[in-house]
Structure 1
């Protein structure tokens, strides 16, 4: 094949793509805006919402009498050594029907003691019923969580008082103290529980960028009637396929590069936003991307091979369509092929990732991207995933070439 003819076909399709302003927005701006929003904005929003419940004073209904020390513990504010309130207490209000009061929204939770509660350990036991909407995240992180932790602290206080009368100290209740030590790699701790979003968003943006060029260069040209003029020119069919594959891959990789910039930008914004105020929730959910030279090379190889495979699949499918709209119906299910396996990656900690998974085209590159993000990079696995994608791209490219050589396919419209 002649490289100059391939580039002429590719530049022709790229120029057509660049004329579409909507394509430029989806290729450049959306990755830069959506990725920081998902990986940084979402954890920060959750942190503010859940943290706000600790600072908000919820109303808790009470039926009957509570021990005075328990009432004081429920309404007392917790303060840091500098005097700053870290968690407010609740406001106790009398209610008649605890279930109805919670369901109507009059109170966030309600307490009912069928029998008198003990005020000293060893004086029997009692049950404190708590009415709350347990399926509601706001209730779980607000009134319910405060009551639960306060009652646990109240039980411990009574037990400690009882131990004091026996000449024993509080350490009697906890003879063994557990000290967790996180041995995860630094990058895995930074990536957090939302690390699976990185391969998911990267491959989705690759698909989005490739679709714009692939559909326009095949079904779009058939619909406009310009494909015939290209086929009668002194360009071989293999050069036409190679040129369109090159143009589609360039567009896909452009989107992928901006998605990587989006992840790097989210890491920079996270460090700036949390410089003076560390957030355990943001660190837990994470989603930050930090690249070493080796991981950057692995990331690039996985993205290029995945872009080639996705581009070849799109071209092979789109050439069969009679129109642009029909081509969209063919390629739209491809997003599910990416989304479902990528979402399953969030449960990868429960799976034993054998080497055979990396031989699956596209899915192997998702696992390799996740390994790269978490700092568990293995050269053999990355090379296996890249090779699987390249073999798949070659097979799909040959299928597309065969389709371009059949007149009943080219002139289906």
Structure 2
């Protein structure tokens, strides 16, 4: 078995394409892709918030003081409304054509005397399907004017400040969060980490699995290997260990690479935040997270090797393996859904239970007794799949299809 493992690993390390996907891709390409996507997304949001928007006001004669305040808002350019734009439909058309970015309509009941004016409703015509911050830019001014009107109305009614506050907010919910920072952050990102780890393990194992099984068929080296004085069980286990190692190394290299790049490219509080969060997890929980990946990688390796052995060619093997990505995604997404906890039947659902366990370990709320059942059930499933793989490899009709 170890001889086969050594042979397969040497062949794997000699293959530049495999090394690229296992090492270069995680270290350089993945961080660049994720970092580039995040950079352009943040730039798009920043540009939308700072872009100068053109607008017009309808009914400015009702609130000249408010119009003056609107003019002080940065990155807003007030323009005269075209003379042919009068009706609501014409205003909508002007927005759709791009003549103006938005139009704000001030109602004729606008007045500081809110006891008699009734509710004042501003209409904003805009294309809300695009990324913009129109409402955010205007809400500060409108909220300030609203507060002033309220205070003046309360003063006329003879109310003091305490009575005003009570009337505006008669009931207040005060939240006391008993969760520490690790639990709060872990709840946000804990569901994403298993998703990334599982897919990385699967993707890292796919390429060597296709080459070790179907690739050997195409090259004609499988027959030579079968004639060697090595049992078929040892051959399967050697190939299985190679695929498992490739998947685990690919996931580990990618995670370490992204963590290092994140710290290097971050600044100030971001570094402190990452450092503080990572320090709060503890080495034992981190080791348990990666220990939980062992049976998962074993499951993937056994399934991939079985498919590769069955396939007639490298291309056919890749066709069989690609749908596995979707099979893996579903149970991991279930673990990330709110309300799904490591209790009851969920503790026995393959992949989902490990994803939930990793999430709890990151949060620091893991019941460690449950790890025995989760790890044990995962090991049993992985062992059954390895057993099937050995049986599959011993079938002549499978090897020589």
Task: Please report the TM-score for the alignment, with normalisation by the length of structure 1.
Answer: 0.83
The alignment partner of 1:122 has SS state of helix
Whether 2:112 is the aligned partner of 1:119: answer: yes
- Displacement of 1:269 in angstroms is 4.0
Where structure 2 has 5 or more consecutive residues not aligned to the other structure, the ranges are none
- Displacement of 1:185 in angstroms is 3.1
- Write out per-residue CA displacement over residues 171-228 of structure 1, whole angstroms, 9 at most, x where no aligned residue: 2423455444443332243346444332111111101111111111111111111111
Query: Which residue number in structure 2 is paired with residue 90 of structure 1?
Result: 76
- Write out per-residue CA displacement over residues 77-133 of structure 1, whole angstroms, 9 at most, x where no aligned residue: 5xxxxxxxxxx3633323234212321223322112453422332231333211122
Query: Which residue number in structure 1 is paired with residue 225 of structure 2?
Result: 230
Pairing partner for 2:383 from 394, 397, 400: 394
Query: Which residue number in structure 2 is paired with residue 373 of structure 1?
Result: 362
- Displacement of 1:324 in angstroms is 0.8
The alignment partner of 2:104 has SS state of strand
Query: Which residue number in structure 2 is paired with residue 351 of structure 1?
Result: 340
Query: Which residue number in structure 1 is paired with residue 202 of structure 2?
Result: 207
Which aligned pairs between 1:96-135 and structure 2 lie closer than 5 A?
96=85, 97-113=90-106, 115-125=108-118, 126-135=120-129
Asked if the contact 1:102/1:108 (under 8 Å) is kept, the reply is yes
Which deviates more, 213-222 or 255-264? 255-264
Asked if the contact 2:347/2:353 (under 8 Å) is kept, the reply is yes
Where structure 1 has 5 or more consecutive residues not aligned to the other structure, the ranges are 1-5, 78-87
Whether 2:137 is the aligned partner of 1:146: answer: yes
The alignment partner of 2:57 has SS state of strand
Output the CA distance in 2 between the equivalents of 1:196 and 1:12.
38
Query: Which residue number in structure 2 is paired with residue 23 of structure 1?
Result: 18
- The total of aligned residue pairs comes to 385
Query: Which residue number in structure 2 is paired with residue 85 of structure 1?
Result: none
Asked if the contact 2:342/2:357 (under 8 Å) is kept, the reply is no
Output the CA distance in 2 between the equivalents of 1:383 and 1:266.
35
Which aligned pairs between 1:280-299 and structure 2 lie closer than 5 A?
291-299=281-289
The alignment partner of 2:240 has SS state of helix
Output the CA distance in 2 between the equivalents of 1:345 and 1:395.
24
Query: Which residue number in structure 2 is paired with residue 314 of structure 1?
Result: 304
Asked if the contact 1:209/1:252 (under 8 Å) is kept, the reply is yes
- Write out per-residue CA displacement over residues 257-307 of structure 1, whole angstroms, 9 at most, x where no aligned residue: 11331353255247x4243899xxx99xxxx76641221121121111211
The alignment partner of 1:23 has SS state of helix
The alignment partner of 1:273 has SS state of coil
For residues 35 and 164 of structure 1, do their structure 2 counterparts lie closer, same or farther at Cα, with a shift above 3 Å needed?
farther
- Write out per-residue CA displacement over residues 6-57 of structure 1, whole angstroms, 9 at most, x where no aligned residue: 1111122122222222322222233334665677765665555435544444
Output the CA distance in 2 between the equivalents of 1:277 and 1:146.
31
Asked if the contact 1:122/1:162 (under 8 Å) is kept, the reply is yes
Asked if the contact 1:200/1:339 (under 8 Å) is kept, the reply is yes
Pairing partner for 2:67 from 61, 67, 71: 71
Instruction: Give 1 or 2: higher helix fraction.
Output: 2
Task: Please report the TM-score for the alignment, with normalisation by the length of structure 2.
Answer: 0.85
Asked if the contact 1:263/1:289 (under 8 Å) is kept, the reply is no
Asked if the contact 1:295/1:377 (under 8 Å) is kept, the reply is no
- Displacement of 1:156 in angstroms is 2.6
Which deviates more, 201-210 or 337-346? 337-346
Output the CA distance in 2 between the equivalents of 1:150 and 1:330.
60
- Displacement of 1:247 in angstroms is 0.6
Output the CA distance in 2 between the equivalents of 1:145 and 1:406.
67
How much is the aligned-residue C-alpha RMSD, in angstroms?
2.9
Asked if the contact 1:364/1:385 (under 8 Å) is kept, the reply is yes
Query: Which residue number in structure 1 is paired with residue 150 of structure 2?
Result: 159
Query: Which residue number in structure 1 is paired with residue 393 of structure 2?
Result: 404
Which deviates more, 356-365 or 258-267? 258-267
